[in-house]
Chains A and B, each alone.
Chain A
Amino acid sequence: MTFKNLVTAALITSVALTAVHADELKGRGASFPGPVYKAWTAAYFKATGKKVNYTPTGSGDGIKSIKKRMVDFAGSDKPLKPEKLRKAKLYMFPSVVGSIVLAYNLDGVKDGDLKLSRTAIDAIFSGKAVFWDDAIITKENVGLTLPHAPITTCVRADKSGTTFNFTYFLNKINPDVKVSKKPTWKAAKVVAGKSNSGVSANIQQIKNSIGYIEYSYKIKLGLPAAQVENKEGHFINPTVPSFQDAAKYATWTADNDFYAVIGDPAGATSYPIVAATFLLLPIEKSEMNKKVTAFMEWAYINGDKAAAELGYVPLPASTKEAIRAYWEAKKIK
């Protein structure tokens, strides 16, 4: 009977398949560094033949996955405080610095044309500003014709480290804003997308929209982005030098597992919305961790160029040294 043959064939195959074991590092988490991790893992595979399978599903998913030991490492733009790290038995260290830009979809308003003051950004995302031609926005954009159209804010549908860092910035402007991976947005028209890609797609498709995305997504899709007013009152165009200037003010120390939120720094030329992204590792898996650190070591040495090309800011050499010392101390080098 052909059914019997099919069943026996399938059973033999399934037994045979159990013997196959993929030798790959599994990572999940932040989409903020998605493009640079993609470049690094592809180059690492080409150079060493070792597979690193990173799925950008959002920092929230990354943190949960590593807590439950469902992956070998997690990516998160929201660093975990030392008590939380201890409770979840995790190691943490940064991988790269990136920036969050405010990309928009407005007819006739080109890249860098729109200037957003700190109060205007808060007004847009908290619903105080409803139309594009509200005074709080037009005040800084006298030469621009903004439409009398309702603003659609493009936000994240998932728990996001990008959102965490963006709300951190908003909170510095307006203390009522809750710093969160997934706040309840109070703007009138909200559209949510999964991961940085989803938000970018929404901005691209929805007229009169504005959203917060990582810089490399803006570049890849050619979306226009706004100048943002920094802490010292200057309007800064989101460019790589401005991110580098901002990153100079960041300090990381191994004492608290490199916990640092580097947004809204000082500096006349600093772009204000910058963030570091982190890797989380389970304490008890020392052999697996060595493989992860081997990958990161390769990235620290060989990946700076790719990162810079995508618009990220590589970590300074001193921080990389501190990270290496951290690995040695934890015996995961």
Chain B
Amino acid sequence: MNRLLLNKIILMLSTLSAVIGISFLFWILATLSYKGITSIHWSTFTNDLVEGGIRNLLVGQFTMALMATAVAVPVGMMAGIYLREYGDGSKLAAIIRNLSDVMMSAPSIVIGVFVYALLVDPFGGYNGWAGSVALAIMMIPIIISTTDNMLALVPTELREAGMALGGSKHKIILQIVVRAAKVGITTGVLLSFARIIGETAPLLFTSANNQFFTMDLSGQFPSLTVSIYNLATYPDPESRELAWAASFILTASVLCINLIGRFSIRNKK
């Protein structure tokens, strides 16, 4: 009797945990949607921050994220390829995998402070390049890990078939193995893109913020997340409203990209 009761209690508590978890998700999304949708006007998208909109912030955040992706994807993929295709099983590969995972979970504010010392302090000012680099540093370990794991899923027979056809190693990797893992890697890229778009701490003292529209990466660069942080502390209703609008749009973008990524993987296999 006691055993069955204990069992029932634990199972109920576990189900309750899941309910609590889901409730928080709905609570957060509900308040965000309510506050966000009521705060969005046409001008939110057509004006820059200086005039009470977020146009320059959206462009700025996406620009830096794209710059980061342009750097992180080739570097990360090449590193992942090395780990799985050339160095697999070696001690070096194991060490590098560990280091990469450490960097992946490193506090983002530390990355920001690091890039400040490297790219802001010596160059005399906050700039968008530094912001992009900070985001890239956060993205690279994720791409490495994704590539590494996705390549591992490719059956060895494919590689052997390539070798049997007489292809050179790098051609086999690029045209057969990577191609086979393409969907998984793309999903990884999408998910990491969604992750860095929502980052604030690495941008605080690298690209800072800019209320005007600009594409000049050598100066302070507009950021959606940094703006939310600033606007939220302003007491006047217009700033608060803008902060909610920006938060809603940011979350909607991030979740959409996430869902697209997950559905593409489910459809493939």
Contacts and interface: CB of A to CB of B under 8 A. Distances in A.
Is chain B in direct contact with chain A in the complex (CB below 8 A)? yes
Interface of A: 1, 3, 6-7, 10-11, 13-14, 17-18, 20-22, 24, 26, 42, 45, 51, 53, 55, 68-71, 193-195, 197-198, 200-201, 204, 217, 220-221
A3 B74 contact: yes
Interface of B: 50, 66-67, 69-70, 73-74, 77, 120-121, 124-126, 174, 208-212, 214-220, 233-236, 239
A56 B104 CA distance: 33
Given A197-B234, A201-B235, A17 B124 contact: no
Given A10-B66, A71-B125, A20 B233 contact: no
B73 A6 contact: yes
A275 to B, nearest CB: 21
Given A197-B233, A197-B235, A198-B233, A68 B66 contact: no
A214 B202 CA distance: 31
A20 B129 CA distance: 13
A261 to B, nearest CB: 28
Given A20-B216, A22-B219, A201-B233, 5 more contacts: A6-B73, A20-B215, A26-B125, A70-B126, A194-B233
Nearest to B211: A53
15 contacts: A3-B73, A3-B74, A6-B69, A6-B70, A13-B66, A17-B217, A20-B216, A22-B216, A55-B208, A55-B209, A69-B124, A70-B120, A70-B124, A70-B126, A201-B235
A24 B211 CA distance: 11
Contacts of A193: 233
Q: Give the interface centre of A11, A70, A194 by most chain B CB atoms within 10 Å.
A: A70
B214 A22 contact: yes
A114 to B, nearest CB: 20
B73 A14 contact: no
Nearest to A10: B70
B140 to A, nearest CB: 14
Contacts of A1: 174
B125 A70 contact: yes
A24 to B, nearest CB: 6
A71 B239 CA distance: 25
Given A70-B126, A197-B233, A220-B236, A14 B70 contact: yes
A55 to B, nearest CB: 7
Contacts of A220: 235-236
A68 B70 contact: no
Contacts of A69: 124-125
Contacts of B74: 3, 7
Contacts of A51: 212
B216 A7 contact: no
A10 B67 CA distance: 7
A71 B220 CA distance: 10
A10 B69 contact: yes
A26 B214 CA distance: 13
B233 A14 contact: no
A49 to B, nearest CB: 12
Contacts of B235: 197, 200-201, 204, 217, 220-221
A50 B236 CA distance: 27
A217 to B, nearest CB: 8
A17 B215 contact: yes
Contacts of A18: 217-218
Contacts of A24: 212, 214, 219
A10 to B, nearest CB: 3
Nearest to A8: B70
A103 to B, nearest CB: 11
A1 to B, nearest CB: 8
Contacts of B125: 26, 69-71
A17 B70 contact: no
Contacts of A13: 66
Contacts of A68: 121, 124
Given A42-B50, A68-B124, A70-B124, A26 B219 contact: yes
Contacts of B216: 17, 20-22
A42 B49 CA distance: 12
Nearest to B216: A22
Contacts of A22: 212, 214, 216, 219
